[in-house]
Structure 1
Amino acid sequence: MKIVKTILIGIGATFAIDIFTFTVSLFGSNPRGILFVGRWLAYLPKGIFFHKTIIETPSIANELIIGRIAHYSIGIIFAFLLLAMFGKKWLTKPTLVPALFIAFITLVFPIFILQPALGFGIAFSNRPEQGQLMIKSLFIHLVYGFGLYLSTKAINIISNTSLENIKN
């Protein structure tokens, strides 16, 4: 049951990011991060890790689907990291600080590995809108942290209600 809960927590937290980016897109922003991740992953089997910029790299079949699968898989993996670091106790009595700690850890990979591989430089240093992109990235990862916490709370409420109904 712990594994299923953790998978659901990862899905819930990742879905929180999707809701956030969709909401931001309503104000004119064009979130393409998942598309770029999918394109980057699709080029890995061809031996291409670094791109001049992923924007200039030709599209590849199913890159958005690949990006979505990677997005949710990574969200689930970090949910497991949260439990590995803070234990089953956190799962039963979640608090916000450990979830936000994991959210900050999730920033390391994109800032220092993914963004340079996409041709954007460390922390978007090759992009003219570096500050804006870093703030957006920080917010997305904070949303993930809040999503971890809120998903866990919701799953606990649902599972406790289900257990009470079974007992009655």
Structure 2
Amino acid sequence: MSGLATGVLMGLLGTVAMDLWAWLLARLNVAPAPNWAMPGRWLGHIPRGRVFHDDIGKADLVEGELALGWALHYGVGVIYGVIFILLAGQAWLDNPSFLPVWAFSILTIAAGWFLLQPGMGLGWAASKTPSPGKARAMGLLAHTVFAVGMWVGILTVG
């Protein structure tokens, strides 16, 4: 399998793992299920010249925002998988280990903390949420689950 295809597979499986994790947390009443319509609404406002909102829930609706949010979620996961493969290179593909995947996955939370969350009105690193520390910890845990999914991806094709 090519490096690009491996990266796509790893990103898809990492995102699926995150979704299964979110589903489990919602079923156990630990955390609410993600509402992908809100990131879709946020993305839909960017071509209109608006990146940062006080409250994305009060922003104008965007046609197809739920589908757009899901596409964003999976698209970003795939992009992360491909970027990881490009950064890790053939040496890692020949002898993959978990630590680089996990470190990269933890670093990817920066996009959520410093672009998506403030863009949706949640503040830098969820600082405007009711429990910023819990939100950050849950995000780090979700990105660890993403790493596990990516790891399963490389083990599947490796």
The TM-score with structure 2 as length reference comes to 0.91
Alignment of 1:10-89 (within 5 A): 10-28=11-29, 29-32=31-34, 34-89=36-91
Unaligned runs of 5+ in 2: none
Question: How much does 1:101 deviate?
Answer: 1.2
Q: Distance in 1 between matches of 2:61 and 2:72?
A: 17
Please tell me whether the aligned partners of residues 117 and 124 of structure 2 are also in contact (alpha carbons under 8 angstroms).
yes
Q: Distance in 1 between matches of 2:63 and 2:94?
A: 42
The letter of the residue matching 1:143 is V
Please tell me whether the aligned partners of residues 3 and 85 of structure 2 are also in contact (alpha carbons under 8 angstroms).
no
Question: How much does 1:113 deviate?
Answer: 1.6
Unaligned runs of 5+ in 1: 157-168
Question: How much does 1:102 deviate?
Answer: 0.9
Q: Distance in 1 between matches of 2:58 and 2:135?
A: 18
% same residue: 26
Tell me the secondary structure at the aligned position of residue 59 of structure 2. coil
Count of residue correspondences: 156
- Name segments (4+ residues, structure 1) moved above 4 Å: none
Question: How much does 1:83 deviate?
Answer: 1.4
Cα deviation, 1:64-90, whole Å, max 9, x if unaligned, reads 111111111111111122112211222
Q: Distance in 2 between matches of 1:59 and 1:24?
A: 28
The letter of the residue matching 1:84 is L
The RMSD of aligned alpha carbons is: 1.5
Asked if 1:123 corresponds to 2:125, the answer is: yes
Cα deviation, 1:125-145, whole Å, max 9, x if unaligned, reads 111221111111111111111
The residue aligned with 2:9 is: 8
Q: Distance in 2 between matches of 1:39 and 1:16?
A: 24
Tell me the secondary structure at the aligned position of residue 55 of structure 2. coil
The partner residue of 1:106 within 105, 108, 111 is 108
Cα deviation, 1:86-123, whole Å, max 9, x if unaligned, reads 11222232211110111111011111121111111111
